[in-house]
Structure 1
Amino acid sequence: MILSLSSQNVIQYLQNVGLCSLEDGTLYESELPENSGNNRNLLVNLPDNRKLLVKQERRLNFDSNIHQFFNEWLFHQLLQKFPVLGNISELPSLLLHFDEENSIIVRSYLSEYVELGKFYQNNSIFPTEIATAIGTTLAGLHCSTFQRREYQDFMDTAPQGQFRYHFYNPAQGIGSINQDIFSKIPTEALKFHVLYQRYESLESAIADLAYEWKPCCLTHNDLQLNNILVHSRWQQLDNCLMRVIDWEACAWGDPAFDLGTLLASYIKIWLSSLVVDPSLELEESLNLAMIPLEIIQPSMLAVIRAYLQAFRLILDERQDFILRVIQFTGLALTHQIQNMIECCKYFDNTHICMLEVAKNLLISPEESVLTVFGSSETEILQSVKGYHKIVQSEEKQLLRIYYGKTRLRGC
């Protein structure tokens, strides 16, 4: 029988698996932090000021994806099996226990760290030092595992007695509308599917991304701002200590996808601050954002520059790497809209703006680089020390990543 964890039995479970003692049981207390849609999260406070995060997958009849926690456990096993990867072993929090039968993992809770998304929201600042640390750290993960077959084979390991695909390709578009969708999403969200399917060029660009998918290193595959932690005393430290959590989707993949997912989270900060009204043109709404894009651009530019400086080899592998990052940024925005609709049953005019931005990132990446980063592709590449590439001397003119004359009509 599958055990279902709760605040009433989590202490007993930890005692049974040897993570806390029976004698100290009465001194423990547990609290329920924010839970994700897929997992039940329990934060347990120990008497010695240690904290444990206990996570269990919410799986109806336990017939959904069974590899998520296994992936995170496998990633930690990879770090232990190959000590040469010590430079990335500090990225995740320590995994203390994995219960495959009950789909439970227990890891140390990093109480001195704060989610980067909350840091930005609470402080309304975007220090380039943090962005530079993120780019360098992510490049370290990708570069350390780049084209290493032994790491790839290890990450392809399947749970005992089960089968898994060798490659997971997340470069997928939105599925077609069928009659079942009417009972799953709010009526106003149907406009998203109508708009999405109206643009053949959008679906074509996503199909090209999927076709050109070339897994070459270990990727996180869910690198949103809420999965990146920054130390609460980052300004007092010699280096900006970063941590990355929730490795449930990690797999052998395309590094541009990780960067695109990250940049999409930054752009979402801008888009979520829009002043949206049916009487305003889209360009006006974007220009009236409470958090202007120009405030966020330096951080996005710092991420890509630091990443390329630490992982110049990727430019030899993919000379169109920056353009692919831009396209994956657009793809991640469409996935964020879809997740909001499916999980929160919510859709509004802001998401229509987001779809317009995503579309232009996907179908016109060359023209979108300057708008996203505030620098052209040529300028970014020239800032990478030791990298030389023949580039066109003619600079591209800035082209907005939205349509200036598009008007939101009563939705």
Structure 2
Amino acid sequence: MITSEVIPYLCGRELLSRENIVDGEVRVFDASRRNQNFRVINQGGRSLFVKQGTKIHGSSSTAREAAVYSILEADDHSHVPFPYAPRLIDYNPDDDILILELIDDAVNLREKYHESRYLQVQSAAAVGEALGALHMKTSLPTVLRRLGRSEPGVLEVDRPGLALLSDFSGSSIDLIRMVQSSADLIVHLDEMRQDWRNETLIHHDIRMDNIIQSSLHGTSEILIVDWETASAGDPAWDVGAAVADYLGLWIQSIPVTGTQSPEKLIHLADFPLSEVQESIAALWRAYARRSEMSADMQIEFMPRVARFCGLKLVQSAIEMVQNSAHWNLTAVTHMQVAANMMGRPQEAVQALLCLDVAS
């Protein structure tokens, strides 16, 4: 699909009125990334996000995302739409075109924080609330039947296949070699693989780029987008990934001089660790309350969150240098913090994340 075909297609699906078009109230913008994406701004009605998938080896990420949205709209438990995702408008399997409600006034959390240079505790709490609602909502048999189960690729970072390595830069491979050279990290990764739990629907790619803030619905400021990799999986991975993004804000804001170690410059971070910890604590408390965890469940779950937080930091470090000729101190700092968290998760819970049992 090209830009000029979007409006006729939507009219054919009766998702745009001809009156809006005649009055000149409809504009189409190409927003393509992995798929062909279009933002359709309708001043006289509902704006839309149009996504046409590209099938790879006979499978379509767009079809998968459509299945996720249909599960979120109504599942075996409540038949109440999940309030923390855009609304599904239409999916045409013949053309592999997914149409969602467009959140036109939204900004993702990473952009919001970097523009304001300020962390909002209430935003972090809303993320925890959204993840808790997600992990409580869905019927596991439904998710397994329609989406299957999967583990994050980074869980195999110590033994990547040739196909995966072919996509990595030399600097990314250097970081993988750092992992492979650490006997302790290899043991921790093996323990985490054995401890992986397929318990509920998880987003599988939680990051600030995929969490947008909007006042469109009134009931929720936080919406989670890009559900292409969602499946049955371990809720600790979603929560750990969210926590890791907050820690990453702190690490990436520490000045890098090349002459002094990051430890000596921590006090100059644009996002101070104390503020990051406050946001992480708010996220955790909201998640624990929304997912109705008992004190014993929280005590067991928190170290697992810390370990998966470390795993996400490893993933972030590799992604950070993917387009760089050489690794950098910021990426290595991610790896160092990750190794400590994966090796001493209980200490990380108490000393770094400052988590406690939510009442």
What TM-score do the two structures reach when normalised by structure 1? 0.77
Q: CA 1:185–1:229 in structure 2 vs 1: closer, same or farther (change >3 Å)? A: closer
- Output one character per residue of 1:119-158: Cα deviation in whole Å (capped at 9) or x when no partner: 211222222222222222321222233xxxxx22222335
CA distance in 1, matches of 2:100, 2:237: 26
Show the counterpart of 1:82. 75
1:150-165 to 2 correspondences below 5 Å: 151-158=139-146
Show the counterpart of 1:301. 281
CA contact (8 A) 2:174 2:327 kept: no
CA distance in 2, matches of 1:267, 1:8: 43
Matched, 1:353 2:353: no
Aligned residue for 2:149, secondary structure, equals: coil
Aligned residue for 2:260, secondary structure, equals: coil
Aligned residue for 2:145, secondary structure, equals: coil
Residue among 4, 8, 20 paired with 1:8: 4
CA contact (8 A) 2:172 2:319 kept: no
Show the counterpart of 2:42. 46
Percent identity between matched residues is 23
Show the counterpart of 1:31. 29
CA radius of gyration, larger in: 1
Show the counterpart of 1:253. 233
| Structure 2 unmatched runs, 5+ | none
Partner amino acid, structure 2, of 1:169 = E
CA distance in 1, matches of 2:80, 2:221: 13
- Output one character per residue of 1:264-314: Cα deviation in whole Å (capped at 9) or x when no partner: 111111122121233212412444323221221101011111211232436
CA contact (8 A) 2:133 2:291 kept: yes
Show the counterpart of 1:56. 52
Show the counterpart of 1:128. 121
Show the counterpart of 1:20. 16
Residue among 111, 118, 124 paired with 1:118: 111
Matched residue pairs, number?
Answer: 356
1:21 CA displacement? 4.0
CA contact (8 A) 2:204 2:231 kept: yes
1:70 CA displacement? 2.7
CA contact (8 A) 2:73 2:80 kept: no
What TM-score do the two structures reach when normalised by structure 2? 0.87
CA distance in 1, matches of 2:237, 2:176: 23
Aligned residue for 1:278, secondary structure, equals: coil
Alignment root-mean-square deviation, CA: 3.0
1:179 CA displacement? 7.8
Show the counterpart of 1:172. 155
1:43 CA displacement? 0.6
1:113-262 to 2 correspondences below 5 Å: 113-145=106-138, 151-158=139-146, 166-170=148-152, 172-174=155-157, 176=159, 184-231=167-214, 241-262=221-242
Aligned residue for 1:85, secondary structure, equals: coil
Name which of structure 1's ranges 22-31 and 254-263 shifts more when overlaid on structure 2.
Answer: 22-31
CA distance in 2, matches of 1:17, 1:342: 41
Partner amino acid, structure 2, of 1:105 = L
Show the counterpart of 1:107. 100
